[in-house]
Amino acid sequence: MSKPKAISVLSGGLDCTVATSIYSDKYDITAITFNYGQQSFDREVKAAKKVCEKLEMEHIIIDLPWLKEISNSSLTTDDEIPTPTDEDLDNIEVAQQTAKSVWVPARNTVFCSIALAYAEAMGAKIIIVGWDYEEAITFPDNSKEYLDAFNKTIEYGSFDSIQIKAPLINLDKDDIVRTGIEYNAPIEDSYSCYTGSELHCGVCESCKRRRRAFEKLKIEDPTEYEN
């Protein structure tokens, strides 16, 4: 019997790699990586391709040049990407300012709308995303409330019974790493850095949260950092 189909919104990052791995045995997954002009696109695609090879998934790349054109995010412009201190990671005011700097207009809403279109066209049952509790504190489109609202939108906006699945929605980064190990996720192939450097920069917020997760668990971090 063939597996039910699924769509994964896969940037190649830690969170979406773990989330997708959770469903990889039970679903025939097609992964979508979006190019919206982010500095890290080349490295994200490289990571996503490796993850897809390991999990035996089809991989699609979708270009969204218009999203770069309307965005003033430090991820898509020459603006300096914030480099918070370790203490800043738990300072809500500082973290919110960092989030605003890297915010791309309606990014997850755009991604999930496109993923929904693919799910309808391909007869997929679920859309997999890597949203988590730690990032939801500063990114509203990672929250449980956003997840519930988008799933409610799908109920009204689609003939098909499709759900967005966010299995990490209640987890911090260390819990995500622990879950990834449990499901044998190819964490070593994932890429989380905002800068797009060959190695993880080690100083942007995404790198710091990734590194801290392994340190909290007191386990070896397979990630190579420049700093």
Helices 14-23, 41-55: axis angle to 10 degrees equals 20
**Given its phi and psi angles, is residue 37 left (phi above 0), alpha (psi -120 to 50 degrees) or beta?**
left
Annotated binding site for ATP: 10-20
- Closest by CA to 115, choosing from 227, 2, 10, 226, is 10
- The arrangement of strands across the sheet holding 163-165 comes to 58-63, 28-35, 5-9, 126-128, 163-165
Assign residue 218 a region: left if phi > 0, alpha if psi is -120 to 50, beta otherwise? left
Separation between Cα atoms, residue 200 and residue 81, nearest integer Å: 14
Annotated binding site: 10-20, 193, 201, 204, 207
Which residue ranges make up the annotated binding site for Zn(2+)? 193, 201, 204, 207
